[in-house]
Structure 1
């Protein structure tokens, strides 16, 4: 009789606990607008750890974003201005450079003048 009561109480607790958990608990991967990628950037070596994947264009006309590499993190405050950091924990975004354009989320072109940096 005690075994039956224990079984019933465990079954009741299991039903109560399982009903409070949503059916779909897998986290959704948020898509990042490429114009929001600026600030401290860490160049990731592993694709699976990256927030975004980019392809470096050879032509400025084909790129979705013109990127200026800033030497000071304080000035990397607008779209297209990146401060490349060596510390992953200090980065705003982790970027993986794709070799193949079809795997990239967007393409970039490095420029020499910060006034032309930005997205299209």
Structure 2
């Protein structure tokens, strides 16, 4: 796990090599969900993939997820429930799609929390 100092150094180095501003907006991040076909404790399993459709590195990416529940454990290095939010990738830089699965009766209507930061890749 990267320490906050390592993350700050990474962001600083990325900013040194940036050419112009790099911005990503919530509309640039796509959430795709689908049933996997698996059943976990009598509940359908859902696969979630978060794709970023911008050239930036994203930090502190979270989903808005009040009331989210699952009977299937999710790897905390991928997604951690924190109050009404679900922190992705432990807040560390996101450069590739992120995926996780959960099991519940219905799919959950995840939304991107607009409070993330961006840096040039």
TM-score range, shorter chain: under 0.3
Q: Which has the higher helix share?
A: 1
TM-score, normalisation: structure 1: 0.23
Q: Which has the higher strand share?
A: 2
Q: TM-score, with normalisation over the residues of structure 2?
A: 0.23
